[in-house]
């Protein structure tokens, strides 16, 4: 099966990028969408993020066979409730939320009797809003799909295959995994790094004896890369930490133990331990580059649009 009409709820970075990518790679698919913010709707229409921007969520999903929820994780339940009365019976509902167990539960509660397959394209930038989206966001990026277990309607293999094909057509590489495993993996690869970046940037700005101009002036010494991550959307990240609480706290505990070990190595002057640790982490960076998930240029290879 292939989709004929995709409705996108939430027209910010992710929703806008999906709309642009569908129009570029799957032009035969009709695109409609809705955003709660009237200014975002107006800008989405101006930029042509989707073919038709609707005045209500209910209007946007009429006739759709795929609905993708692109709102902050904490807003998924309310956004799904707003489409419940108008959602066509056979439509597949998916999302792009950064945590999966909480979102799956919120969508299932708001849309009983509908097929739901949550997904998370691991692609983004620190920007948000309707001006942030671009069609190539998903190129060569992973999209993790977390189908529910039978007897849920979303466990239908034909629906899963159609959703995988959709994301592949937008340029993504697809992985299918259990939602709990997703939440654990992303806690360490995405959520914890964001928490650390938010902490470091906050610590530096609070330091007495170091002026703000010095922090900015000497930022190239490593701090600058943290500031990029710490500039990420506050609403989105508040919701991610609250919704993936258990996995994040678990990873934070392990991180704290490892940090304490390095702290001790510094205190006792154990250079071998420090060297071995840094050599191991350097090899991980090389693997990421070899797998095409980043490049080796000193600025991390980031153009204006890449994350
Ligand atoms: P964004 O640019 O802020 O866009 C979200 C949009 O949804 C905003 O315009 C927001 O309007 C709107 N919205 C909020 N509640 C709504 C509702 N009930 N109905 C309709 N629209 C509503 O955020 P984003 O970066 O695209 O993130 C969207 C989702 O993608 C999140 O779940 C996030 O976890 C996930 N994600 C993000 C990234 C990333 O790097 N940014 C990567 C992968 C996945 P207001 O601004 O008025 O609230």
pLDDT at 92 (0 to 100):
98
Whether the CB of 12 sits within 6 Å of ligand 1: yes
Of 23-37, 76-90, 203-217, least confident by mean pLDDT is 203-217
Can you give the pLDDT at residue 305?
Answer: 43
Rounded distance from Cα 14 to ligand 1 centre (Å): 7
Closest ligand 1 atom to the C-alpha of 34?
20
* Closest ligand 1 atom to Cα of 125: 40
Domain boundary among 124, 156, 177: 177
What pLDDT does residue 10 have?
A: 98
Residues 238, 248 contacting (CB under 8 angstroms): no
Which pLDDT score is estimated for 289? 87
Q: Could you count the other beta carbons within 10 Å of the beta carbon of residue 133?
A: 26
Q: Is the pLDDT of residue 306 over 60?
A: no
**Residues contacting residue 9 through CB under 8 Å, at least 6 positions apart:** 15, 33, 34, 35, 57, 60, 61, 67, 68, 69, 70, 71, 79, 82, 83
Q: What pLDDT band is residue 65 in, cutting at 50, 70 and 90?
A: very high
Q: Please tell me the least confidently modeled range out of 36-50, 69-83, 276-290.
A: 276-290
Whether residues 159 and 257 fall in one domain = no
Residues 171 and 188 in one domain: no
Shared domain for 97 and 208, answered yes or no, is no
The mean per-residue pLDDT over the stretch 216-230 comes to: 89
In this structure, the answer to whether residues 198 and 148 fall within a common structural domain is: no
Alpha helices in the chain (DSSP H): 13-25, 38-47, 57-61, 76-83, 101-110, 157-169, 179-186, 192-206, 212-217, 223-230, 234-243, 245-268, 271-290
- As a whole number, mean pLDDT of residues 272-294 equals 91
* Residue 292: per-residue pLDDT: 83
Instruction: Say if residue 41 is in the same domain as residue 105.
Output: yes
**Domain match, 167 and 231 both:** no
State the closest ligand 1 atom to the C-alpha of 124, by its place in the atom list counted from 1.
40
% of the chain at pLDDT higher than 90: 85
Retrieve residue 107's tokens: 């969508």
Q: Are 52 and 31 in contact (CB under 8 A)?
A: yes
Q: Confirm or reject: Cβ of 95 under 6 Å from ligand 1.
A: no
- Is residue 281 a part of any domain in this protein? no
236 lines ligand 1 (CB under 6 A): yes
Is 74 close to ligand 1, i.e. is its CB under 6 Å away?
no
Check pLDDT > 70 for residue 303: no
Residue 273 pLDDT > 80: yes
The answer, yes or no, to whether any atom of ligand 1 lies below 6 A from the CB of 72, is yes
Mean of the pLDDT values across residues 270-276? Answer: 98
Q: Are residues 166 and 43 in the same domain?
A: yes
Residues 6+ apart with CB under 8 A from 60: 7, 8, 9, 32, 33, 34, 54, 83
The first and second tokens of residue 288, run together, are: 């990421």
The per-residue pLDDT for 294 is 82
Pick from 111, 94, 192: nearest CA to 146? 94
- Kindly report the number of other CB atoms within 10 A of residue 307's CB atom: 17
The number of folded domains in the chain is 2
Instruction: Give the pLDDT confidence of 81-123 residue by residue, as tens digits.
Output: 999 999 999 999 999 999 999 999 999 999 999 999 999 999 9
Are 180 and 148 spatial neighbours (Cβ–Cβ below 8 Å)? no
What tens digit of pLDDT does each residue of 142-179 get? 999 999 999 999 999 999 999 999 999 999 999 999 99
Residue 41, pLDDT score: 98
- Distance between Cα 279 and ligand 1 center (Å): 38
* Distance in Å, CA 221 to ligand 1 centroid: 32
186 has a pLDDT exceeding 80 = yes
Indicate whether 305 belongs to any domain: no
Q: Is 98 in the pocket of ligand 1 (CB under 6 A)?
A: yes
7-16, 35-44, 229-238, 287-296: segment of lowest average pLDDT = 287-296
Confidence of residue 209 (pLDDT cuts 50, 70, 90): confident
Q: Copy the structure tokens of residue 124.
A: 């983004």
Distances (CA, A) of 235 to 74, 128, 240, 241, 283: 9, 10, 9, 10, 34
Q: Give the domain CATH number at 265.
A: 1.10.3660.10
Q: Are residues 123 and 247 in the same domain?
A: no
Identify the H or E element spanning 222.
none
pLDDT category of residue 71 using cuts at 50, 70 and 90? very high
Rg, the chain, Cα only? 21
Q: Rounded distance, CA 253 to CA 32, Å? A: 43
For ligand 1, is residue 124 a contact (CB within 6 Å)?
Answer: yes
CB distance 137 to ligand 1 below 6 Å: no
Instruction: Using DSSP, state whether 231 is helix, strand or coil.
Output: coil
Q: How do strand 119-121 and strand 142-145 relate by DSSP bridges?
A: antiparallel
73 lines ligand 1 (CB under 6 A): yes
Nearest atom of ligand 1 to the alpha carbon of 98: 34
The verdict on 98 and 206 lying in the same domain is no
Q: How far is the CA of 278 from the centre of ligand 1 (A)?
A: 36
Which CATH number belongs to the domain containing residue 104 in this structure?
3.40.50.720
Residue nearest to atom 35 of ligand 1 (CA): 97
| 27 and 98 share one domain | yes
Q: Is 83 in the pocket of ligand 1 (CB under 6 A)?
A: no
Q: How many angstroms separate the alpha carbon of residue 44 from the centre of ligand 1?
A: 13
The H or E element spanning position 69 is: strand 66-69
Query: Domain residues for 203?
Result: 181-269
pLDDT, averaged across the chain: 94
Cβ(233) – ligand 1 distance below 6 Å = yes
Tokens of residue 13, six digits: 């970075």
């Amino acid at each position: 099966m292939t989709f004929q009409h995709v409705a996108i709820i939430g027209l910010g970075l992710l929703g806008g990028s999906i709309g642009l990518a569908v129009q570029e790679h799957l032009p035969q698919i009709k695109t409609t969408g809705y955003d709660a913010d009237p200014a975002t709707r107006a800008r989405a229409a101006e930029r042509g993020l989707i073919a038709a921007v609707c005045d209500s969520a209910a209007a946007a999903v009429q006739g759709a066979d795929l609905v993708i929820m692109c709102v902050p994780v904490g807003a998924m339940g309310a956004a799904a409730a707003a489409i419940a009365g108008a959602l066509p019976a056979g439509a597949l509902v998916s999302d792009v939320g950064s945590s999966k167990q909480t979102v799956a539960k919120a969508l299932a509660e708001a849309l009983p009797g509908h097929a739901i397959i949550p997904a998370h394209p691991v692609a983004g930038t620190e920007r948000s809003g309707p001006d942030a989206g671009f069609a190539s966001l998903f190129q060569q990026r992973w999209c993790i799909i977390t189908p529910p277990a039978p007897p849920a309607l979303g466990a239908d293999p034909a629906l899963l295959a159609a959703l995988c094909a959709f994301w592949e057509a937008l340029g993504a590489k697809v992985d299918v995994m259990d939602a709990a495993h997703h939440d654990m993996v992303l806690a360490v690869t995405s959520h914890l790094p964001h928490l650390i970046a938010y902490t470091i940037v906050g610590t530096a700005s609070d330091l007495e004896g170091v002026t703000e101009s010095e922090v900015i002036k000497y930022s190239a010494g490593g701090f600058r890369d943290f500031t990029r991550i710490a500039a990420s959307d506050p609403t989105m990240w508040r919701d991610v930490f609250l919704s993936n609480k258990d996995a994040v706290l678990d990873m934070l505990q392990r991180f704290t133990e490892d940090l304490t070990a390095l702290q001790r190595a510094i205190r006792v002057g154990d250079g071998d331990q420090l060297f071995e640790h840094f050599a191991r982490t350097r090899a991980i960076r090389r693997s990421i580059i070899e797998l095409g998930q980043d490049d080796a240029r000193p600025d991390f290879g980031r153009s204006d649009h890449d994350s």
